[in-house]
Amino acid sequence: MPKHDYLFVDESGDPGYRLDDDTGKLLSSAHYTAAVLHVCDDAFRHINEHMAAFRYFSRMYRELKLQRGDEAAERLLAPVSVMADSGVSLWASAVFLDKRSYTGRYLKAGELRPQNPTMFRNYVLRRLLEHHFQRHSLQSKQYDLVLDRVEMSRDDQDNLYAYLATNYRIPKPTHITHASSIYVDGLQIVHHIANGFRDRALGVPVPTALEFVNAADITTL
């Protein structure tokens, strides 16, 4: 039995909504997605073996920033899909939204819950975790939430922990860790999962390698 769960989270798109005063054109990204890669401690060897082989055969030893649709991105993600389908303790979920049609909180000025990029990010993260835990439960009694948010202040980190810890719809995180994807393979993989869903909010199908991901459109409440 696993002794610990790890949830790696990353996003694609910016958390803002800004229009050009003259043309009304959307200046920020049209989409926003967030993804989670859930790995138990007994499955890390599979991730480590895959990443070591990928780097060796592709000769990519730097931080992986592959473009959506690239053959290399497919080769990175396809084995993760196979692991998930074969019963390895590994799962993934994603949520996505079209900002132009979004009816939720904290994105647009003048709404009931007005624009606040930090609170918008936290709200989408909460929705992601709720969606994930509806289908995939913890395999142990504790989990680390690992975020690629090295720019967060200490107050922002404390507020996020309090926000998630008091939500009865999700298990309380044992730890919230903020790391850089440059040295965390789990974050590099989930970055490409989130990136793969960036056009899904705009009606474009996701790559075949991401069909295993438990995804939801949260554009409207």
What are the sequence ranges of the domains in the chain? 5-217
Task: Give the number of other Cβ atoms within 10 Å of residue 122's Cβ.
Answer: 19
pTM above 0.85, yes or no: yes
- Among 64-68, 73-77, 93-97, 145-149, name the one with the lowest average pLDDT: 64-68
Dihedral sign, Cα of residue 54, residue 59, residue 61, residue 65:
negative
- Give the class (CATH, top level) of 5-217: alpha beta
Q: Which residue type occupies 102?
A: Y
pLDDT tens sequence across 145-202? 999 876 778 888 889 999 999 999 999 999 999 888 878 889 989 998 999 898 887 7
